[in-house]
Amino acid sequence: MTDPAPTLSNTAAVRAILSRHGLAPSKDRGQNFLVDPRVAESLVDLAGVVSDDSVIEIGTGLGILSRALAARAERVLTLEIDAGLVRALGEEALLPENVTLRHQDALDVSWPALVRESGATRVVANLPYAVSAPLLRRLLDLAGALRDWSVMIQRDVADRLLAEPGSRDYSSLTVLHRLCVVPRREREIASGDFHPVPGVRSSFVRMRPVAAPPSPDELARIERVVRAAFGQRRKTLANALRGAGFAAAASACERAGIDPRTRAEQLPPEAFVALSRAFEAIGAAP
């Protein structure tokens, strides 16, 4: 069943607020504002938010998702990088009392410290398209601290998260996520549900941590191997690793039980854990 299209008044209201404060959506920051409260409420449902949750939101925008979260969660901490939007949110009184707004860049935050400070149990966000990949990576280090996180991202990024080994979309992003979380695409979001209308479709994906995710330190070691292996997809695994500065690549592959002639996209995520540990064991990690 498809959702009803957002009414003109929702889009018009967003435009009117931006106009009153002399603001315009920033393409560089990937600003596309959700305009339909019904969609925001649906996303909160799909994210599994309950009354005792403390939620961190990335990218407040004009607060449409913040308000939907505040109606369900105990408290919401929302981060917004744009000073103009922070000013507009305050002057228009757009946020409920149980929402704390911080003028802060989500890429500059110490996420483990923020989660501890806020008592956060979940992250829910309409991620700015321009910085979705680095923010997704930062969230992986929270797999042992959060119940889950749910994010709106470009559909092609969601395709990569959900890809299987051997497929075109299988990538380093896939591997790192599969080692930490079980991703599930909960909903597709129509381009017309945003202002301005983006040139891509969006997916809402919920990430549930696996039972025993790698520690942040081990994940960083694995990441170096994974990115080197996928950095030159047309090369064999051993050649790609050697080209990235990993000495004794063939020996590490042998120790991990991996054919050095295979290619990165053919390996399951667990193979990269074994390979990373093999490099550590023989002292050949760069």
> How many Cβ atoms sit within 10 Å of the Cβ of residue 51?
7
Topology at the third CATH level for domain 8-209: Rossmann fold (3.40.50)
pLDDT value at position 233?
86
- The rounded mean pLDDT for the chain is 93
pLDDT value at position 5?
37
Question: pLDDT category, 162, cuts 50, 70, 90?
Answer: very high
Question: pLDDT category, 70, cuts 50, 70, 90?
Answer: very high
Domain 216-282 has CATH 3.40.718.10: no
Residue identified by tokens 């990937």 is 30
Q: pTM of the full predicted structure? A: 0.92
- C-alpha pair distances (Å), 105 with each of 65, 95, 164, 166: 18, 19, 33, 36
pLDDT higher than threshold 60 for residue 6:
no
Q: How many CA atoms lie within 13 A of 154 on its CB side?
A: 14
pLDDT higher than threshold 60 for residue 280:
yes
pLDDT higher than threshold 80 for residue 62:
yes
pLDDT higher than threshold 70 for residue 7:
no
The mean per-residue pLDDT over the stretch 148-173 comes to 97
- Walk across the sheet containing 122-126 and list its strands: 99-103, 75-80, 54-58, 122-126, 148-154, 202-209, 181-189
Lowest mean pLDDT among 4-18, 147-161, 261-275: 4-18
For the chain, give every domain's residue range: 8-209, 216-282
